[in-house]
Structure 1
Amino acid sequence: MWRHIASNALTLFVVLLFLLGGLVAWGQRQFVIPGPLEQSACVRIERGANLARVSEQLQEQGVVSNGTIFRIGARYAERSDLRFGSYLVPPHASMEEVLDVITRGGASTCGTEINYRIGVVVAEMVVRELDPETARYVETIKFNPATDPVPDGYLDVAQADDTRFRVTLAEGATSWQAVDALRRAEFLQGEIAAVPGEGRLAPDSYEVRRGADRGQLLAEMEARQTRILSDLWEARAEGLPISTPEEALILASIVEKETGVADERRQVASVFVNRLNQGMRLQTDPTVIYGITNGEGTLGRGLRRSELDARTPYNTYQIDGLPPTPIANPGRASIEAALNPDDTPYVYFVADGTGGHAFSVTLQEHNAAVARWREIERERAARGIESDPQTGAVVEETEAAE
């Protein structure tokens, strides 16, 4: 009898062991097979959240098929150290892949971002959310801290634990504009002792933390521009009419302000290089404008004849060679263009009405191009269309144009 009972117990134990092994194998397979997500999802891990709660959350969001299996798998893999933040989980991610996303750490990959865009004309605070379905950001709040009241909801977003911050300095913005804008950024702290030298800040996008020091951010911008200039100076073309990195920065800033068309930068640079080589004056409006504004904002109008005739250090219609300093912060592409310009015979250019320019070799060709541009301006004026005084591109249409 006891032998029969023992035999039955052994059989039951083997069956249970077999079932347990099958269950473990099934669980392991569930952990690595594609998950139920039909489209990307943004998963937010709260500060201090535990594995049990996150497992339930993931199942509720439809990110994983079974929260219990996910929790057991995470503990078995010894990866239960969750990282606070918001993370984008791709479609059909397995539990193993989801675990890697939320425990790997690093910057959040979705959720809310505040991007402070410091432009040539205005600085705008832009709040945007990543749409998991399209993997694109959607703007929810936008305002100019210098002129607009703080919109409802902005401070709540700005003070949320997982909101990310970014400062983007546009190509062609001046150092004064950068400093003025940074002083208005409520998410930064610290005093700015002095405006950095013109041209010394690298236009780029900088990820920062709430409470970051303004001075340290400017120092990072300066260090990045120094590295860019140093690298490109070493790779410069031979025979350029500039002898120092500072002169390269000055020429690059003029190129930056003269064209907004990426493909034109090297051609525009060639015009100024040819003029310098031939002893011609640069005769470029942006330098004159800088001499009037000192880089503190935009002129907002065309130049007057008296301003073009005035002899100032920045009036390249009146002085020979380069102005004494850069007139803006040039981006890497403009520095590269200044140091490696196209080989062209051009010494003239004028707006062509598209935002680009018509280039000429002779004064006669140039005068004909200028005449065409003046005709375009007259036609636009008759229709109530305004042209950008620098690029010649259409900037807005008035009611008369409608």
Structure 2
Amino acid sequence: MKRRIFYFISLIIFLLLFGMFFSFKTSRKMEISFSVRKGEPTDVVIDRLAKEHVIKEPFMSKIYARFNNLKVKAGNYLLNGTYSDEDILQILSRGQVHYVKFVIPEGYDLFDVADVLDSRFPNCNKEQFLKLAFNSTFVHSLDINSTSLEGFLFPDTYLIDREATCSEIVSGMISNFNRKVGPLFKTYNPPALVKKALGTISVKKLITVASIVEKETSLESERPVIAGVIYKRLVRKMPLQCDPTVIYAYRLKGIFKKRLNGKDIEKIKSPFNTYLVRGLPPTPICNPGMKSIKAAMYPVNTPFLYFFAVNGKHIFSKTYKEHLRKMRKYYNRHVK
């Protein structure tokens, strides 16, 4: 009986702690300002902010602060967005008093990022960001061997000082890329297929492949296969013929297209038009997530050379003849 009671009490405690931890990590919308006085102890600040309904889980917040040795900094704080208790403690420990939280989803390109930043930062509007993002001199100053920042702004949740300039925002995002993606390449031993397809291996080339994979599929199981198709076509000197690269070519000209037709492909003369130009495009075409990056690094050595999309999934083929036959079957129309 005593053992049952003990297990029951332990379960209740576990569920309570789990609930508090979940609440501690959950973001909620708020627009609030508050001050932290100089010399005010961390626990006292947490208790006060809990009473003011800024922090929801003071107990978990104190444990988190002690475990991470976080000390709050004095200042006048303004929160406008969605924040968890964890976010708030990070803000307090860094002393960034006017903090903006924003999210860059996987697959966003520089134009999408510019839209996210626009109006949130008084010192970095859309036009300023894009001018900087495509400034090759600035890009090279960040040790990025490319003509733009495309591909190197890692998709993530960011907390950045509202008064930050475009260069400061970008520097923070590049640091995040280097911290999270950089270690993948330090001990990277490329598979034979990747070596054969790319020749000289570089981070830019791998991120470019990853960006195409990111735009081609959202299914985790398909990513390494599509990466494999890309590499196999490169090895055979076949044009990649990827619609997302052509869509990006139009994007660079200020034209947004969701889908392409035959005339769209023929009309645009661009190194990003992988129907007309063999090899990889000059830069990545979006900012890929970790799953697509890993797929580009470790592709499936697939026998497939062709694929097309049907209801969110892809149908793969080994030969062009097989590819056409499957397209006729699924689209129920004549395909040349």
How is 1:317-356 mapped onto 2 (pairs within 5 angstroms)? 317-353=275-311, 355-356=312-313
Q: Deviations over 1:70-118 (max 9, x none)?
A: xxxxxxxx9864346432338xxxxxx48936985679xxxx975xxxx
Distance 1:113 1:261, change over 3 A: farther
CA RMSD of aligned residues (A): 4.1
Query: Could you tell me which of 90, 94, 103 is aligned with 1:168?
Result: 103
Q: Provide the TM-score with structure 1 as the length reference.
A: 0.55
For residue 90 of structure 2, what is the aligned residue in structure 1? Answer: none
For residue 238 of structure 1, what is the aligned residue in structure 2? Answer: 191
How is 1:32-71 mapped onto 2 (pairs within 5 angstroms)? 47=35
Q: Provide the TM-score with structure 2 as the length reference.
A: 0.64
Asked whether 1:82 is paired with 2:45, we answer yes
Q: What is the CA-CA distance between 1:262 and the residue it aligns to? A: 2.1
Query: Could you tell me which of 101, 112, 116 is aligned with 1:181?
Result: 116
1:202/1:329 contact within 8 Å kept: yes
How is 1:3-402 mapped onto 2 (pairs within 5 angstroms)? 47=35, 81-83=44-46, 85=49, 86-89=54-57, 97=59, 100=62, 127-128=81-82, 165-186=100-121, 189-190=123-124, 192=129, 194-196=132-134, 197=148, 198-233=150-185, 234-239=187-192, 240=194, 241-242=197-198, 243=200, 244-294=202-252, 296=254, 298-305=256-263, 307-308=265-266, 310-353=268-311, 355-375=312-332
Q: What is the CA-CA distance between 1:226 and the residue it aligns to? A: 4.0
Q: What is the CA-CA distance between 1:283 and the residue it aligns to? A: 0.8
Runs (4 or more) in structure 1 with deviation over 6 Å come to 161-164
The residue matched to 1:327 in structure 2 has which SS? coil
The residue matched to 1:218 in structure 2 has which SS? helix
Distance 1:266 1:164, change over 3 A: same
Counterparts of 1:166 and 1:324, CA distance in 2: 32
Which 5+ residue runs of structure 1 have no aligned equivalent?
Answer: 1-33, 50-77, 91-96, 115-126, 133-160, 377-402
Q: Partner amino acid for 2:171?
A: A
Q: What is the CA-CA distance between 1:285 and the residue it aligns to? A: 0.8
Query: How many aligned positions are there?
Result: 264
2:208/2:280 contact within 8 Å kept: yes
Counterparts of 1:79 and 1:257, CA distance in 2: 45
Whose helix proportion is higher, 1 or 2?
A: 2
The residue matched to 1:82 in structure 2 has which SS? helix
- Give the greater-gyration-radius structure (CA): 1
Counterparts of 1:178 and 1:334, CA distance in 2: 19
Which 5+ residue runs of structure 2 have no aligned equivalent?
Answer: 1-12, 25-31, 73-77, 86-95, 135-147
Distance 1:82 1:324, change over 3 A: closer
Whose strand proportion is higher, 1 or 2?
A: 1
Pick 1 or 2: higher relative contact order, CA cutoff 8 A, min separation 6. Answer: 2
Q: Deviations over 1:351-400 (max 9, x none)?
A: 121x1211111223211221233239xxxxxxxxxxxxxxxxxxxxxxxx
